Amino acid sequence: MTDPSPSPAPAVRAPLSLPDLAVALGILVLGGLLLAGTLQIPFGINAVVGPRVFPLIVSVGTLLLGALLLVSTLRGYRAEPAAEEDSDPDAKPDLRQPGIILAGFLVGTLLLQPLGFVLGTAVMYFSVGFAFGERRLPLLVGVALVVALVTYVAFTRGLGLSLPAGVLKGVL
């Protein structure tokens, strides 16, 4: 992707970006947790390089890279959100929409075993469609059910995968 905005000149001290700071600190925390986890791994026996060595390299590396990121953030570096297909780089980010999708996904996941694959994924389908601005709700519910049903039949009958039938057991 081409960078549309010129990066700030190093001479001017850019204001500190708090979200970027949180990311840099988050990576340092991740590195710390990895290191703590590494120290819990027992030394291997009969091995020249035990199961601890690689995790040690990865966790120390993560800590170092996190520190470098922290330095660059403190010097005013600010991450540009990626330019993706279908996304508008100038739009105001609206975190409610991903929230709706995540909530729908988690509800669908919890319903997957008791109610079955069709109803569970229909909930997920509905929540994504709703978050993307579809407001013809009866249509969305209908498409959600049809897509979930067709997917279920295609994968279980056509490809022999086993997906939970749930309440539709015996019907399908």
Partner 1 sequence: MDAVQSLLAGFETALTPLNLLWALLGVTLGTLVGVLPGIGPALTVALLLPVTAKLPPVSAFIMFAGIYYGGMFGGSTTSILLNTPGESSSIITALEGNKMARRGRAAAALATAAIGSFVAGTIGTALLTFAAPAIAEVAVQIPPSAKFALIMLAFVTISATFGGSPLRGLISLFFGLAIGLVGTDLQSGQARFTLGYPELLDGIDFVTVVIGLFAVGETLFVASRLRKDKASVIKLEGNASMTRDDWRRSWKPWLRGTALGFPFGAIPAGGAEIPTFLSYTLEKKLSRHPEEFGKGAIEGVAGPEAANNASAAGVLVPLLTLGLPTSATAAILLAAFQQYGLQPGPLLFVTSPDLVWGLIASLYIGNVMLLALNLPLAPIWARLLLIPRPFLYAGILVFSTVGVYSLNNSVFDLFLLAIFGVIGYGMRRFDFPVTPAIIGVILGPVAESQFRTATQQSNGDFSVFVRQPLSAFILLLVLLSLIIPQVLKARARAAGRGAVQAG
Report if residue 32 touches partner 1, rule: CB under 8 A. no
CB atoms near residue 91 (< 10 Å) = 7
Minimal distance in Å, beta carbon 169 to partner 1?
A: 15
Report if residue 171 touches partner 1, rule: CB under 8 A. no
Report if residue 69 touches partner 1, rule: CB under 8 A. yes
- By CB under 8 A, the count of residues binding partner 1 is 85
Q: How far apart are CA 23 and CA 32, in angstroms?
A: 14
Out of 16, 29, 87, 157, the residue judged to bind partner 1 by CB under 8 A: 87
Report if residue 80 touches partner 1, rule: CB under 8 A. yes
Out of 16, 29, 39, 44, the residue judged to bind partner 1 by CB under 8 A: 44
Out of 16, 19, 137, 153, the residue judged to bind partner 1 by CB under 8 A: 19
Q: How far apart are CA 14 and CA 8, in angstroms?
A: 7
Report if residue 128 touches partner 1, rule: CB under 8 A. yes
| Structural tokens at position 133 | 């601005």
Report if residue 119 touches partner 1, rule: CB under 8 A. no
Q: Nearest CA to 125 among 96, 139, 145?
A: 145
Taking CA atoms, 63 is separated from 7, 11, 27, 68, 87, in Å, by 26, 28, 7, 9, 33
